[in-house]
């Protein structure tokens, strides 16, 4: 089976998962190295699809996946960590933007996509654009939806946005991006994470500060 048809099958699975889960109200989950507990299955499907892409060739047949997603959920549910794992697993180039700050600085999102296309042509690696805090009161994602529509269809340029509350984004944005909900981990995983963070804070950080202090002192 050629890589092209494998990509089409991955695309079909991605579409079916998103469609079926919208009716069931609960998304299936999967596991990823580096994450404690399950993550939304969409994350694994996105990762596997990008990994299966052949090296970029502008003359190759076009592949049109659903490549605009919004990861939403409360703080601490793993949205940012999953994006980092996708970057690590796929070798994609990830460009991050805080959307409210970007808007305040009068940034041009069309230029962001043009820059992504130039990087893709130069590096021949997939590019993932990450826009954070799209549900912020100043934007609510509205500034993105027309731009996303204009740039959809390139299998090598993906848009992943993050939000705490998907319903606080505009209707236009919601129609353009597939929602991926992140749930809080169960109590045992939260307890283990808290224990690790406490260990790092109470033991590792003081050790690092003491080591740094010793190095500075010896250099005098």
Encode pLDDT of 178-199 as tens digits.
899 998 765 444 444 444 444 4
The answer to whether residue 90 scores a pLDDT higher than 80 is yes
User: Is the pLDDT higher at 21 or at 217?
Assistant: 217
Give me the sign of the Cα torsion angle 9, 10, 15, 18. positive
Residues 204 and 120 in one domain: no
**How many Å is the Cα radius of gyration of the chain?**
20
Same domain membership, residue 208 and residue 173: no
Please indicate whether residue 3 or residue 194 has the higher confidence score (pLDDT): 3
Q: Are residues 66 and 146 located together in one domain of the fold? A: yes
For the sheet with 127-132, list strands across it: 93-98, 127-132, 157-163, 68-72, 178-181
On whether both 119 and 199 belong to a single domain, the answer is no
Same domain, 199 and 106: no
**Is residue 83's pLDDT more than 90?**
yes
| CATH code for the domain in which residue 44 is found | 3.40.50.300
Is residue 125 domain-shared with residue 195, that is, in the same domain?
A: no
Name the percent of the chain lying above pLDDT 90.
25
Question: Is 96 in the same domain as 73?
Answer: yes
Average pLDDT over residues 146-159: 77
pTM: 0.71
CA 205 to chain centre: 29
Please tell me the least confidently modeled range out of 2-16, 58-72, 119-133, 157-171. Answer: 2-16
Same domain for 144 and 78, yes or no, is yes
Domain that holds residue 146: 3-185
Domain identity same for 155 and 64:
yes
CB-neighbour burial class of residue 64 (10 A; exposed 0-12, middle 13-18, buried 19+): exposed
| Same domain, residue pair 156 and 208 | no
Residue 219: Cβ-neighbour burial (10 angstroms; 0-12, 13-18, 19+): exposed
Mean pLDDT over the full length of the chain: 75
164 shares its domain with 203: no
Residues 61 and 49 both lie in one domain: yes
Q: Domain count for the chain, please give it.
A: 2
């Amino acid at each position: 089976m050629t890589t092209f048809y494998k990509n089409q099958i991955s695309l079909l699975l991605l579409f079916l998962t998103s469609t079926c889960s919208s009716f069931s109200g609960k998304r299936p989950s999967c596991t990823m190295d580096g994450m404690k507990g399950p993550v939304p299955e969409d994350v694994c499907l996105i990762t596997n699809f990008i990994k299966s892409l052949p090296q970029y060739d502008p003359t190759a047949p076009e592949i049109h996946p659903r490549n605009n997603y919004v990861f939403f959920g409360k703080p601490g549910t793993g949205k940012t960590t999953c994006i980092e794992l996708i970057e690590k697993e796929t070798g994609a180039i990830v460009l991050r933007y805080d959307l409210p700050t970007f808007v305040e600085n009068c940034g041009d999102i069309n230029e962001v996509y043009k820059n992504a296309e130039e990087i893709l042509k130069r590096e021949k690696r997939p590019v993932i654009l990450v826009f954070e805090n799209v549900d912020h009161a100043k934007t609510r994602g509205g500034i993105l939806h027309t731009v996303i529509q204009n740039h959809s269809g390139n299998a090598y340029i993906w848009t992943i946005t993050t939000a705490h509350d998907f319903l606080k984004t505009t209707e236009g944005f919601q129609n353009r991006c597939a929602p991926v909900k992140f749930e809080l981990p169960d109590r045992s995983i939260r307890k283990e994470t808290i224990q690790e963070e406490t260990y790092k804070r109470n033991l590792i950080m003081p050790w690092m500060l003491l080591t740094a202090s010793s190095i500075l002192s010896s250099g005098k």
